[in-house]
Amino acid sequence: MFEKKMISDKGMPQEAEQTVSCFKEGLNCTQAVLSIFGPQFGLDRENAIKIAGAFGSGMGMGETCGAVAGALMVIGLKHAKLERRSLFSRDKTEDIAREFVVRFKARNATTECRELLGCDVSTLEGLKAAKKEKHFKIRCPKFVQDAAEILEELLKQEQQSKRKGAT
């Protein structure tokens, strides 16, 4: 499922590049992440885009960055189990999600959209400022790329750990 990743000519992993490209083509940050990574775990692209539709711009309120939310959705898709007795999967899901957040904060100091953008998009004035100053076009691609790269790193590390355990 996660074979060796191709590195693009831009120097980033191929899925990260695809995610940023989807964002730049008009998907919101959450949609971009979930639509690229979700199909690997059984979520078709169309439904990924629909599900993630209301999560961009920190759920439209400047809360948790939509790219972070999309990555956490992918982690849930991969690890959450439907059986009631599967607490191990919950622990593992939460541990990986926590590690994702730690790594995202290491790169960006926060996961809060309003802090990443430098304005409060939950207010009409803040949203206007973000659009006028082109924060969504200038700042957000980096956050989308960071989320996609970190997610790829975590998924790759997990696969490598499984291989080591199998040998």
How many C-beta atoms surround the C-beta of residue 150 within 10 A? 22
Q: Does residue 167 lie in a domain region?
A: no
Q: Does residue 35 lie in a domain region?
A: yes
Domain count, the chain: 1
Whole-number pLDDT of residue 131: 94
Yes or no: say if 70 and 20 are a contact pair by the CB < 8 Å rule: no
What residues make up the domain containing 156? 14-160
pTM: 0.87
Mean pLDDT per 10-residue section of the chain, whose length is 167 residues = 42 85 97 97 97 95 96 93 65 92 98 96 94 96 98 90 69
Which sign, positive or negative, has the C-alpha torsion 125, 135, 70, 146? negative
User: In terms of Cα–Cα distance, which of 48, 79, 53 is closest to 66?
Assistant: 53
Q: Does residue 58 lie in a domain region?
A: yes
Q: Does residue 4 lie in a domain region?
A: no
Q: Does residue 166 lie in a domain region?
A: no
Q: Does residue 124 lie in a domain region?
A: yes
Find all residues with CB under 8 Å of 160, minimum gap 6, and list them: none
Q: Does residue 8 lie in a domain region?
A: no
Whole-number pLDDT of residue 57: 93
Whole-number pLDDT of residue 81: 78
